[in-house]
Amino acid sequence: MSKSFIRIWNIFTTLLVTLVVILALLLVGVRLFGFRVFTVLSGSMEPTYHVGALIYVKKVDTMELRSGDVITFMLDEDTVATHRIVEVVPDEEDPSVIRFRTKGDANDNVDGSLVHYKNVLGTPVFTIPLLGYLAGYIQNPPGSYVALSLSAVFLLLVFLPDLFADSGKDSKGRAVAGKRKGRAGKASLEPEAAGAQRETAVLPEERPVQSRKNRPGHAAAPARTRETPRVPSLPRQRRGKHEAGGRR
């Protein structure tokens, strides 16, 4: 792969990873900070909260709630609603118990029943339009299966260029090592050949040595013999006579 393509792909995957991380934080990670996430399914709170929006609800002290505040509460065991408080109704027998009369912003009439303070889940802090459609889709089959499949493909696409780059580096490294090895072998042979040439160049050319006798056009000189001079021998004296003459 070309370097420009790998650079563009890395930028794309980085942006995609960032988007996925942000989405995961918005759908799941916010629960670590005490938020509860709900999807708006009806238009009773238009235009404050649109259909398909996600609302993030934070727990609140119910004794501090006043008329005009928006609360999210349990309408029954299976239904959660978000409406605006129009009246705070204290209990006649126990002042510590309060109830809330609520009404949707788009509705003409108030809700038919009062909301007990223990059924209040909290108050919406912020909302993200349209994100509820995606959240509702991936939380239920077949959306959850599609999300798992896309996650696997996404991970493969993220690490695929690195795998190709590693394989390319390995093959290139082998080729470079082979070239270096070939150059090293050639370089080791060249000095040997050069040394051999130097040795043969240094050695003088051997020529047969011809003696004077064997040289062409040269006459052989007669051999000369040296005469050893003879030393003259001294006359022998008789030892006995000399000794007798001495006695005289």
- pLDDT for position 203: 46
Can you tell me the distance from the alpha carbon of 47 to that of 44, in angstroms, rounded to the nearest whole number? 9
Can you tell me the distance from the alpha carbon of 75 to that of 113, in angstroms, rounded to the nearest whole number? 9
Contact 63, 118 (CB under 8 A): no
- pLDDT for position 128: 94
Question: pLDDT-based confidence at 199, cuts 50/70/90?
Answer: very low
Name the residues annotated as catalytic.
42
Question: pLDDT-based confidence at 18, cuts 50/70/90?
Answer: confident
- pLDDT for position 176: 52
* Closest to 104 measured CA to CA, from 57, 71, 74: 71
Question: pLDDT-based confidence at 236, cuts 50/70/90?
Answer: low
φ/ψ bin of 45: left (φ > 0), alpha (ψ from -120 to 50), beta (otherwise): alpha
- Fold classification of 34-134 is Umud Fragment, subunit A (2.10.109)
Can you tell me the distance from the alpha carbon of 198 to that of 195, in angstroms, rounded to the nearest whole number? 5
- pLDDT for position 196: 44
Residue 77, token pair as written in the block:
């065991």
Q: Does the model's pTM come out above 0.85? A: no
- In this predicted structure, the answer to whether residue 194 has a pLDDT above a threshold of 50 is no
CA distances from 54 to 31, 157, 180, 212, 226 (A): 13, 30, 63, 123, 139
- pLDDT tens for residues 71-114? 999 988 889 999 999 999 998 888 889 999 999 999 999 999 99
- pLDDT tens for residues 21-33? 888 888 888 888 8
Give the bridge partners for 57, in sequence order: 36, 124
Domain borders along the chain are 34-134
